[in-house]
Every structure is written in structure tokens, then in C-alpha cells.
Amino acid sequence: MIRFFRSLFPSRWVVLVLLFLLIRLPLLWLGMPTTLSELHYALLGERLQEGFVLYRDVYDTTAPLSGAVYWLVDALFGRSYLTYRLLATFLVMYQAFLLNSIFNRNQVFAQRSFVPALLYMLFGSIFFEMDVLSPLLMGYTFIIQAVYFLTAISKEASNVRRLFNAGFMLGLAALFYLPWVWFLVLGFFAIIFFASGAFRSVLLMLTGFAFPFSVVLTVFMYQDALVPFLEFGLAWSWQFKFTFVLPFWQVMKIAAIPLGVLFLSFLSLPFVNLGINYQARFLQFMLIWLLVVGLVLLSGHDGSAKTLIMLLPLLAYFGVFLFSWQSKKIWIAEIFFLVIVAGVVVMRYNPLNLVYPSIGISPEAIQVKDAPQYRVLQNKQLLVLGPDVNFYQRNHLGSPYLRWDLAQPYFGRLNRYHSLFTIFQDLRKNPPAYIVDQVNLMPELQYKLPIVFNRYEKVDDGPFYKRVR
């Protein structure tokens, strides 16, 4: 199979697309379980589509351009998880071919081929959570676009537009997922490796980076949401609070195959003839990319399998060296690659529900749960007091408090006037139809804010309170 993709005949990319869709799409049509991340993005898109402003009317840390995408998807398709997954599939495929074209255009390898795209799309399908249309995935598209401009710098006359465009793409990427701002470090080294390295070149890139941020800041200023944007959209991401949605060792088990391939690829580097000086510099560039990915991981807050997306360009680049066997030993590479493909397919589809239990992976932690208590209310506007967002799967967000951790500074400090006043301001105009009290806060809220919460009466013995006046 590897030998087949070591040429640039048009039939190769057609077969590559078909192979990728064959691996990716069946799980979508068979019913991939909805993840908590997808529910979160859908709720955010619905709330924004109703006319509320991100950060000011919805307390969330999703980057502004990601929020705009979820708003647009909800405006066009409603709460459609299939749309999210199809868009994610398209982005992975686009990123793979774009990165592959960068390698081929710059003659990074001795032979032009579709092997980097093959590796990118294969490992991009190893786990169902990587099918999520996450801010990380959307932002990575612009990171690769920036690399397209950074690695093609040649004559000084053409550097101006390319460097500005590279910085602009890095700015857009950071507005999809703020930790991508670390890739400015990669941009600085790219200027050193592939351009003149002059201070003027750095300023051009920084100017391009700052331009989209200035536009977004202006938009939020006119919407009277500049301070909330600075708090939730920018400052919050640098608190370095890391939460594992899946336990760390479960994530490592899912990542075992791609990390193993990456490790073996590093071991194969001493046996590779890099050739021209440009290829050696590109290797240094990719090693710095690896370090920057580590910085992004430390700055991120979501420890789950979808963060493996960051490794895909590294696997696409270094994996080529692993499979650069001589013609007499090509059959070893073919067998090894088929074993990897089998491992990826088994990990993705978990046949007969045997793989995950046997290696200790519990994907239920990242999936929406369908228990009887979550079916009591349907198509209602809710405020959920507590961390369980599963109550929203058949309902809609009826308050600014999408994330319980961001609501804690208010509902966790009911002895402070500022907290009570903020809750009053948030709920007095558009109170939700129901309140789901998981943490038994309603008695205290009804005592301290009767003008808002005395309008609700408890329904039977459950956690539900219905607005009756």
C-alpha cells in the first residue's frame, strides 16, 4: 500500500480520498455517540443564534471565531451533530492535502508522494472523538496555511506579502483556539531558516498577527463586551488549569499507536540522507514544531483524545522516514503499515465492544448519557445548577451559565452582594422555564433573591423547579 502512494499520479489521490472516507464515514452513519464537547458547542451555537453575545451574555471560554462557526452551523442546520462531523472530516482531509503539497512543493523529501497525506488522514481517524469539530481542529487549518507562507519565502520583494499573510493566518488560528499563539515561536524560527531573519521580517509577521485581533477587539467594544472578552476569551486561557476529561493513562493508551510510530520515526532519522541544505533546515523546523506542540498542550485545558490532532503534521513528516525502506526490503514496510492500519481501524470501531474494556478505556466519560432523568424535560429552556450538562441534550440553554466552573464565582459566593447582583441581572429579563438544582442551592437562592427564584416551584421529589409566574 505504501508503494502505491509513492507517486503523484491523479489516481493516487482519488484512491486516498476513497480510503479515508471508507475508514471515516461508516462510524458516522452507524451512529457515532454524541460527545459532551459536541453538546457544548451545539448549546453555544443555539444561544448565539438567538441573538446573545459571546462572553457578555454567555459565560464561556470558546474562542470568538470558533463561536462564530457554531453560530453559523446552528443558523443553517440547527443542532446537527452530523454536520459537525462532516465538516471535521473535510477539514482533516484539507489539512492533509495542504501539508502534503507543502512538502512536495518545497521538495522536503527525496521523492514526492502522497504518503504524508496518507499518514495524516489515517492517524486523524484513530478515535471517534477526533471526529469532533473542535476549536483546536479548526485553528490548525490556519496554522498549516501559515506554514505554507512561511516555508515558501525566497526573494525579498515577495517576502512582504507572504510574511504578513503568515502572521494573519497565525492570528486567525489563535482566534479559533488561543493556545495556538505559541506558533508565533515557530514563525520566528521560520524567518531565521527560510528568510533574511531581519527585524523588519518579524515586524511584518507580528503586524499580520495583530490585525485580526484588532478587528475582534473593535467588534466586542461596540457590543459592550470588551471586558468579558478580555476575561474569558484571553486571560482565562493562561491560568494553566488542566483537566483530563479522560484519565491520563486512557489517553495514553489511545495514543499508543501514533506515539509508537513517532518514536520509531525518530530512531530512523540517523539512517536518512537529508540531501540538500533546505531539507536539513526543514528537519530543524519540524523539531521546533514538536517543542511548540508541547507548549500548546501545556496551555490547553482539555485533556482528551482530540488533542492528538496536534501530532498529525509530525506523524506525516517523520513517518515518511520510517517507511523509507530500500526496494529490496519494501515488503517489511508494507507489512508494518498494514499492521498499523489494522490497529487504527480496531481502535476506531472497537469491534464487539471488546477492545476498550480489555485495555481499560472508558469512552463513556466523554459521551452524552441517556438516563431516564435526562428525558423528563424536552425542548425547554433550562438553567442547570451543577456540572452535569446531560440535562441539555433534549433542551436548550436558558441562561448565560453554560459552564458550571465559570458560574461558581457567583453561585459559590452567595454571601457576597456582587454575586447576587450579577445573578439578578443575568436572570431577571429572560428567566428559564425550568431550573435543575443538582447542588441544592434553590432554598438559599429563594431566600436571598426572592424576586427571581420565588417564581419557581419544586416539581415532585426530583431536582426540577418549574417557573409558575
How far is it, in rounded angstroms, from Cα 61 to Cα 64?
9
Show the CA angle centred on residue 366, arms to residues 67 and 122, nearest 5°. Answer: 80
Choose the weakest-confidence range: 47-61, 151-165, 169-183, 342-356. Answer: 151-165
Span 414-430, mean pLDDT?
91
More confident residue, 328 or 132: 132
Single pTM value for the model: 0.93
Is 219 a residue whose pLDDT tops 90?
A: yes
| Residue 13: predicted pLDDT | 85
The DSSP call for residue 386 is S
| Residue 357: predicted pLDDT | 87
C-alpha to C-alpha distances, 302 to 179, 282, 307, nearest whole angstrom: 12, 30, 8
| Residue 210: predicted pLDDT | 96
How far is it, in rounded angstroms, from Cα 91 to Cα 418?
44
Indicate the SS3 state at residue 456: strand
Residue percentage of the chain with pLDDT more than 90: 60
pLDDT in tens, 87-112: 999 999 999 999 999 999 988 888 88
Select from 380, 399, 383 the least CA-distant residue to 57: 399
| Residue 50: predicted pLDDT | 93
| Residue 170: predicted pLDDT | 96
How far is it, in rounded angstroms, from Cα 67 to Cα 422?
23
CB contact burial 406-432 (16+ within 10 A = b; e otherwise): bbeebbeeeeeeebbebbeebbeeebb
C-alpha to C-alpha distances, 436 to 375, 382, 409, 457, nearest whole angstrom: 13, 7, 19, 11
Is 2 a residue whose pLDDT tops 80?
A: no
| Residue 462: predicted pLDDT | 82
| Residue 365: predicted pLDDT | 85
Query: Dihedral sign, CA of 268, 308, 304, 140?
Result: positive
The neighbour count for residue 112, using CB atoms within 10 Å, is 17
More confident residue, 163 or 154: 163
pLDDT in tens, 22-45: 999 888 777 778 899 999 999 999
What are the grid coordinates assigned to 105, written together? Answer: 512543493
- Amino acid 124 reads G
Span 223-234, mean pLDDT?
92
Q: Count CA atoms closer than 13 A to 336's CA, side-chain side.
A: 16
Is 118 a residue whose pLDDT tops 60?
A: yes
pLDDT in tens, 268-278: 888 777 766 77
Q: In terms of C-beta density within 10 A (0-12 exposed, 13-18 middle, 19 or more buried), how is residue 128 classed? A: buried
| Residue 256: predicted pLDDT | 92
How far is it, in rounded angstroms, from Cα 116 to Cα 156?
30
| Residue 9: predicted pLDDT | 80
| Residue 390: predicted pLDDT | 93
The DSSP call for residue 242 is -
Residue percentage of the chain with pLDDT more than 70: 96
| Residue 5: predicted pLDDT | 79
| Long-range CB contacts (within 8 A, 24+) of 292-299 | 292/182, 292/183, 292/185, 292/186, 295/179, 295/182, 295/185, 296/179, 296/180, 296/182, 296/183, 298/240, 298/242, 299/178, 299/179, 299/182, 299/237, 299/238, 299/240
- The dihedrals phi and psi of 217, each to the nearest 5 degrees, come to -60, -40
pLDDT in tens, 239-263: 766 677 788 888 899 999 999 999 9
pLDDT band at 333 (very low <50, low <70, confident <90, very high): confident
| Residue 326: predicted pLDDT | 59
What are the grid coordinates assigned to 293, written together? Answer: 506542540
Is 154 a residue whose pLDDT tops 70?
A: no
Select from 31, 5, 53, 52 the least CA-distant residue to 333: 5
pLDDT in tens, 168-203: 999 999 999 999 999 999 999 988 887 766 788 889
Span 297-324, mean pLDDT?
87
| Residue 293: predicted pLDDT | 93
Q: Which residues make Cβ contacts (< 8 Å) with residue 141, sequence separation at least 6?
A: 91, 94, 95, 98, 173
Question: Mean pLDDT, the chain, as a whole number?
Answer: 89
How far is it, in rounded angstroms, from Cα 298 to Cα 296?
5
C-alpha to C-alpha distances, 1 to 97, 118, 331, 341, 353, nearest whole angstrom: 18, 10, 10, 10, 28
pLDDT band at 64 (very low <50, low <70, confident <90, very high): very high
Span 303-310, mean pLDDT?
87
How far is it, in rounded angstroms, from Cα 25 to Cα 349?
11
